[in-house]
Amino acid sequence: MANPICDQTAVVVGASSGMGRAIAVALAREGFHVVAAARREERLEELERQLHGAGCAIEVCVTDVTQLDDVERLVERARQRTGRIELLVYATGTNLPARGLSVLSHENWLRLIATNLTGAFTCTQAVLPVMRAAGNGLIVYLSSGCVQMPDVSGVAYQASKHGLVGLAHGTRVEEKLNGIRTTVLFPGLCDTEILDQRPVPTPREVLDQALAPEDVAAAVLFLARLPARAVVPEMQLLPARL
Ligand SMILES: NC(=O)c1ccc[n+]([C@@H]2O[C@H](COP(=O)([O-])OP(=O)(O)OC[C@H]3O[C@@H](n4cnc5c(N)ncnc54)[C@H](OP(=O)(O)O)[C@@H]3O)[C@@H](O)[C@H]2O)c1
């Protein structure tokens, strides 16, 4: 039997732009009650207006994943409605213009790892008690195709994306008997704001072949629709022509 999605709660972290925003839209249209989190309040409010206008259930919660209090407040807010959180999507991520080893500072390494990896751990730790109590939960982490294909996205970025693999698999193995599943998703190039951080702009003809955020959202929807007895530990989603 498929998971009945209606009235399930999904927390999407990194929902103010790009893939996270598209995922929040897709989940809300599917019938999830979405709790959308990120730092930029005006972006979240715009998303809330759009989805309320379409008759979808969404609330927003300004959250900086590097702040433990923010993450705990987010999870408590999401928990309050039904006592359950069926889905957590960690779509938060950042990169640095000064990413090459010759220019990467210690401070920037720490900042990037805090956002891309430690934030995912913090969200996981916060949501696990809620999922354990319900005996059910799915966590989807957005890693990157650079795990399978090392590139020039920088060692801090790549280390953070490899770290998510360990977090996802370790959580799945430790928590499977509590009904908790994890998927680590590896998207290839996708035309989003994170590319503005690249030291050299990506040519338009390459961007034209990239994934759209909605493609990643469709993959997350596929995962969310799976019955609780099934798990996809890893999923690669690549632009077909690049
Ligand atoms: N685009 C690609 O080609 C590509 C490929 C592979 C993997 N990815 C990964 O996909 C994920 C989504 O990125 P995207 O491409 O959609 O880029 P994006 O549009 O820049 O989205 C990044 C999201 O992360 C949020 N974020 C950043 N720092 C945060 C913090 N401290 N606390 C809370 N939220 C924070 C941003 O919101 P605020 O700034 O409002 O906080 C934004 O919503 C990232 O993990 C990225 O590494 C991207």
Q: Does the beta carbon of 130 sit less than 6 angstroms from any atom of ligand 1?
A: no
Q: Does the beta carbon of 183 sit less than 6 angstroms from any atom of ligand 1?
A: no
Residue located nearest, by CA, to atom 44 of ligand 1: 93
* Whether domain 9-235 has CATH 3.60.9.10: no
Q: In what order do the strands lie in the sheet with 33-38?
A: 58-62, 33-38, 9-13, 87-90, 137-142, 180-187, 234-237
Residue 90 falls in the annotated catalytic set: no
Q: What is the pLDDT of residue 1?
A: 38
Rounded CA gap, 138 and 115, in Å? 21
Q: Does the beta carbon of 65 sit less than 6 angstroms from any atom of ligand 1?
A: yes
Q: In this structure, how many other beta carbons lie within 10 angstroms of the beta carbon of residue 127? A: 24
Q: What is the pLDDT of residue 4?
A: 61
Q: What's the N-to-C CA distance of the chain in angstroms? A: 37
Ligand 1 pocket, mutate which of 61, 94, 148, 207 (most atoms under 8 A from CB): 94
Ligand 1 pocket, mutate which of 71, 113, 167, 194 (most atoms under 8 A from CB): 194
CA-based nearest residue to 26, from 214, 193, 223 = 214
CA-based nearest residue to 162, from 184, 194, 139, 192 = 184
Domain ranges of the chain: 9-235
CA 149 – ligand 1 centroid, Å:
20
CA 151 – ligand 1 centroid, Å:
18
Which ligand 1 atom lies nearest to the CA of residue 194? 20
As to burial, measured by CB atoms within 10 angstroms (0-12 exposed, 13-18 middle, 19+ buried), residue 227 is exposed
**pTM score, whole prediction:** 0.98
Q: Which residues of the chain have pLDDT under 70?
A: 1-4
